[in-house]
């Protein structure tokens, strides 16, 4: 939607083939990091050009990122967990400029920006994707695919290697043997809807230790998904989003964004919020 109105791309970097820029590691000047006059700088956004050709996140690193995401949730929420888990890996393995940007910006996103809006884990993933993928079209496809995947995925699936010390007093069984019994599909990318449907399925509150234990594992699930997306993109420098669900496609058939009668500019599934429009409509 945005792309179709952008006459000038503020971040266009077409002249720089991704991966073509060698990593520059310069010391001196008494600097304790890689922030130098000639090396990559945090202001050199977008950063994809600093990721070496052939870069990939290994399966073991993927697992470590997921585990870091889980523990990051208990540090400062779901958005922080996903963002810091992925970005700290880039800082360690790519270096500048990823080691020049703060890892701890994500605390604002938890609880759907504290408002029940977009799931903070998704927002942390989106912010990480934005740091890695320079091409607006591919970035958009990856973000849409992430949000759409979340809507239809059964959460939580992750089983932590170690339970965080802050996770105490759960009443449900989150063990590997039972985790699937706790899963449900959000049908929405919004925090409050995601929390409500899981809480209703499991008979627990939407604000309490069981819910937080779920969201900590969901944070790991989302982090791992974003890693898979980044790997897929970097391997091919392209990405195609999955299609919208059939019900919502039907909605948009009568309500396209270009209509002048009740137009809708949306990529999300419609029926989870607008349940009253599914039957007896119009």
Of residues 141 through 180, those in contact with its own copies by CB under 8 A are: 143-144, 147, 166
Distance CA(204)–CA(227), nearest Å, equals: 31
What does the block give as tokens for 43? Answer: 């202001």
Quick check: 33 binds its own copies (CB under 8 A)?
yes
Among 50, 55, 212, 239, binds its own copies (CB under 8 A): 212
| DSSP class of 19 | T
Q: Is 18 left (phi over 0), alpha (psi -120 to 50) or beta?
A: beta
Omega before residue 97 within 30° of 0, cis? yes
C-alpha atoms less than 13 angstroms from C-alpha of 216 in its C-beta half-sphere: 28
Name the residue with tokens 């239809």.
152
Distance CA(183)–CA(181), nearest Å, equals: 6
- In this complex, which beta carbon is closest to its own copies, that of residue 177 or of residue 184? 184
- In angstroms, what is the minimal distance from the CB of 98 to its own copies? 11
Among 69, 110, 156, 160, binds its own copies (CB under 8 A): 110
Of 151, 148, 132, 142, the closest CA to residue 240 belongs to: 142
- In this complex, which beta carbon is closest to its own copies, that of residue 25 or of residue 58? 25
How many residues in the shown chain lie near its own copies by CB under 8 A? 95
Among 111, 124, 160, 186, binds its own copies (CB under 8 A): 111
Distance CA(129)–CA(124), nearest Å, equals: 9
Q: Quick check: 87 and 65 in contact, CB under 8 A? A: no
- In this complex, which beta carbon is closest to its own copies, that of residue 117 or of residue 231? 117
Among 59, 92, 208, 238, binds its own copies (CB under 8 A): 208
- In this complex, which beta carbon is closest to its own copies, that of residue 59 or of residue 278? 278
Q: Which residues, numbered 232-261, are part of the site for its own copies (CB under 8 A)?
A: 257-261
Choose the binding region for its own copies from 16-24, 153-161, 184-192, 225-233 (rule: CB under 8 A).
184-192
Q: Which residues, numbered 34-93, are part of the site for its own copies (CB under 8 A)?
A: 35-37, 41-46, 72, 74-78, 80, 84
């Amino acid at each position: 939607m945005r792309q179709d109105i952008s006459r000038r791309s503020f971040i266009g970097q077409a002249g720089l083939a991704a991966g073509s820029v060698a990593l520059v590691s310069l010391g001196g000047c008494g600097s304790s990091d890689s922030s130098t006059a000639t090396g990559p700088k945090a202001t050199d956004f977008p950063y994809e050009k600093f990721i070496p050709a052939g870069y990939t996140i290994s399966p073991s690193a993927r697992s470590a990122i997921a585990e870091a995401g889980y523990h990051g949730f208990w540090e400062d929420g779901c958005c922080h967990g996903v963002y810091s888990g992925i970005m700290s890996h880039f800082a360690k393995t790519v270096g500048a400029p990823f080691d020049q940007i703060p890892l701890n910006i994500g605390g604002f996103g938890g609880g759907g920006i504290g408002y029940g809006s977009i799931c903070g884990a998704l927002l942390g993933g989106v912010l990480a994707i934005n740091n890695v993928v320079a091409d607006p079209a591919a970035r958009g496809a990856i973000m849409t695919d992430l949000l759409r995947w979340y809507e239809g995925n059964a959460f939580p699936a992750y089983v932590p290697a170690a339970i965080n010390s802050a996770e105490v007093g759960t009443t449900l069984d989150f063990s590997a043997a039972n985790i699937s019994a706790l899963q449900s599909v959000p049908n929405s990318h919004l925090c409050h809807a995601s929390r409500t449907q899981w809480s209703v399925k499991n008979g627990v509150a939407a604000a309490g230790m069981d819910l937080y234990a779920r969201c900590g594992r969901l944070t790991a699930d989302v982090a791992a998904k974003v890693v898979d997306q980044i790997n897929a993109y970097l391997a091919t420098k392209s990405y195609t989003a999955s299609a919208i669900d059939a019900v919502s496609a039907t909605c948009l058939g009568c309500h396209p964004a270009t209509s002048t009668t009740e137009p809708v500019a949306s990529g999300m599934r419609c029926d989870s919020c607008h349940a009253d429009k599914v039957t007896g409509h119009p």
